[in-house]
Amino acid sequence: MSSVDALHRESAVDLARACAAGERSARSIADAFLARAASVEPGLDAFLELDAARVRAQADAIDARRDRGETLGPLAGVPVAIKDLIAERDAPLTCGSRILENYVSPYDAHVIERLRAADAVLFGRTNLDEFAMGSTTETSAFKVTKNPWDPARFPGGSSGGSAVAVAARMAPLALGTETGGSIRQPASLCGVYGLKTTYGRVSRYGAAAYASSLDQIGPFATSAADLALLLGVIAGRDTRDSTSADEPVPDYAASLGQGVEGLRIGVPREFFGDGVDPEVRATVERAIETLRGLGAETRDVSLPHTEYGIPVYYLVATSEASSNLARYDGVHYTTRADAPDLEHLYTRSRGDGFGLEVKKRIMLGTFALSAGYYDAYYKKAQQVRTLIRRDFDAAFADVDVLVGPVAPAPAAPLGAVVDDALAMYMMDVLTVTANLAGICALSCPAGFTEGRLPIGVQLLAPPFAEPTLLRTAAAFEAATDYSREEPIA
Ligand code: GLN
């Protein structure tokens, strides 16, 4: 495809190669994606901010460097949309919250430094559930992002804006964050690839903290190869995040062509329980058959503590959130309420600034950590978390990768779950255990419902086995064509 009209359909791999070779300017790529966004964004609301001048200035600087004869980086001229929870110098950083409505970041997150060094073009700030707390992108204080396959439905969350930006080809790549499914679930509901990286694989320096023992940054893309490209740029040790691992970064692209011949795939029976929608179940079973047809061996496995994932996650995540969000106090960098004294300054700033979902979680977490309840709730949750981790250890003693659904159901209509806490939390039942165990997992497009809503399949692998995930996803992608379908013309 060479016409400018079709540029937004090209892969990140092809765009970067063409830009580095001087066949396309970064400016022409940026303009094509800005034009695409101008035509589809008004109906989708994926972005909280997309400043064309800032985008073009970056692209022009990249072109100028190439014109001077400099060799460009691996993401030369490739637009990357950024979840508005990841700090970008001189750009807004709202976290989807009124309390940070006017905040502008004075510094770059580690992943943003890496993107700049790779000659990517930072392409706007994407919408999210407030402080990443939610599964639909409807708890954002600012706007409701729509699913491009059916704008009357939600895109999933909390990284819904990033998923939609990529699904609607407003950007070839995007970054999101995961605490309990916030990349995989919207990727599944929007028909794109989304990777939750191993805990410690990517530095969280500059990502606003929600639950620090769970949070990770990860990529969205429209192919396994593009996912590998972005992962290779952001992965690796950073001394400013003490949990970032000193683990070599493999050549992720090299794993893509390895196929699945002889790969041992486990099918956890707890991922196929009564709560899983029949079309989702049928789609995942078909995907397993496809992988078997490609030479993988499959066997049944058990993750017996899966049913405790939701209570454990919502105790650990809210406890950590209650501590992490104490910094938004009206004194430091947040919106400050008028108040006669210090105590009212705190309570009014936080009372006005936080939305209901965030307040609910701060209260729950504070309660779970309080004297007299700590042993019964937080400590018990941590003990069960260890059992969940051991379930995965036992399963991975026999298999290389696990396969199951991502979300129990396809995208539902806007408003269907956001006011029903249990319904919303149950959407995370098949994703939170990977976060609690610290392993890596991805969602890849695997089919559609009869009503043409995307369904993803989840692949899970041991810590730092991202190459196994990419290899499996690439083999599945080559054998199917779900990821080539487009939601809107
Ligand atoms: N939906 C989950 C929550 O609300 C997960 C969110 C996330 O991964 N950030 O906590």
Condensed to tens digits (0 to 9), the pLDDT of residues 285-320 reads: 999 999 999 999 999 999 999 999 999 999 999 999
Among the options 97, 135, 182, 349, which is catalytic?
182
Q: What's the mean pLDDT in 201-219? A: 98
Q: What's the mean pLDDT in 342-360? A: 95
Q: What's the mean pLDDT in 457-466? A: 98
For residue 429, what pLDDT band results from cuts at 50, 70 and 90?
very high
Check whether 16 has a pLDDT greater than 70.
Answer: yes
Tell me the best of 85, 127, 133 to mutate to test the pocket of ligand 1, counting ligand atoms within 8 Å of each CB and taking the most. 133
For residue 334, what pLDDT band results from cuts at 50, 70 and 90?
confident
Which tens digit of pLDDT belongs to each residue from 254-285?
999 999 999 999 999 999 998 999 999 999 99
Which tens digit of pLDDT belongs to each residue from 370-414?
989 989 999 999 999 999 999 999 999 999 999 999 999 999 999
Which tens digit of pLDDT belongs to each residue from 21-35?
999 999 999 999 999
For residue 4, what pLDDT band results from cuts at 50, 70 and 90?
low
Percent pLDDT > 90 in the chain is: 93
Q: What's the mean pLDDT in 196-216? A: 98
Question: 8 with 66: CB under 8 angstroms?
Answer: no
Dist. CA 149 → ligand 1 center (Å): 22
Residue 268 Cβ inside 6 Å of ligand 1? The answer reads no
For residue 483, what pLDDT band results from cuts at 50, 70 and 90?
confident
Q: What's the mean pLDDT in 173-188? A: 98
Q: What's the mean pLDDT in 343-360? A: 96
**How do the domains of the chain map onto residue ranges?**
4-266+403-484
Take residue 489 and report the two structure tokens written for it: 């013309």
Check whether 1 has a pLDDT greater than 50.
Answer: no
For residue 335, what pLDDT band results from cuts at 50, 70 and 90?
confident
Ligand 1 atom showing the smallest separation from residue 181 Cα: 8
Buried b (16+ CB within 10 A) or exposed e, 382-409: eebbeebbebbeebbeebbbbbbbbbbb
Among the options 158, 203, 349, 443, which is catalytic?
158
Residue 132 Cβ inside 6 Å of ligand 1? The answer reads yes
Supply the mean pLDDT for the chain. Answer: 96
Residue 134 Cβ inside 6 Å of ligand 1? The answer reads yes
Q: What's the mean pLDDT in 323-338? A: 90
For 81-90, 254-263, 411-420, which range has the lowest pLDDT when averaged over its residues? 411-420
Dist. CA 107 → ligand 1 center (Å): 25
CATH of domain 4-266+403-484: 3.90.1300.10
Residue 162 Cβ inside 6 Å of ligand 1? The answer reads no
Residue 180 Cβ inside 6 Å of ligand 1? The answer reads yes
Residue 404 Cβ inside 6 Å of ligand 1? The answer reads no
Ligand 1 atom showing the smallest separation from residue 179 Cα: 8
Tell me the best of 136, 158, 358, 436 to mutate to test the pocket of ligand 1, counting ligand atoms within 8 Å of each CB and taking the most. 158
Residue 179 Cβ inside 6 Å of ligand 1? The answer reads yes
| Protein residue with least CA distance to atom 5, ligand 1 | 180
Dist. CA 125 → ligand 1 center (Å): 19
pTM for the predicted model, two decimal places? 0.97
Residue 44 Cβ inside 6 Å of ligand 1? The answer reads no
Dist. CA 19 → ligand 1 center (Å): 36
For residue 422, what pLDDT band results from cuts at 50, 70 and 90?
confident
pLDDT of residue 5: 62
Percent pLDDT > 70 in the chain is: 99
Dist. CA 183 → ligand 1 center (Å): 9
Catalytic-residue membership of 158: yes
Residue type (1 letter), 3: S
Dist. CA 72 → ligand 1 center (Å): 36
Task: Tell me the CB-side half-sphere exposure of residue 30, using CA atoms within 13 A.
Answer: 26
Dist. CA 179 → ligand 1 center (Å): 5
Catalytic-residue membership of 242: no
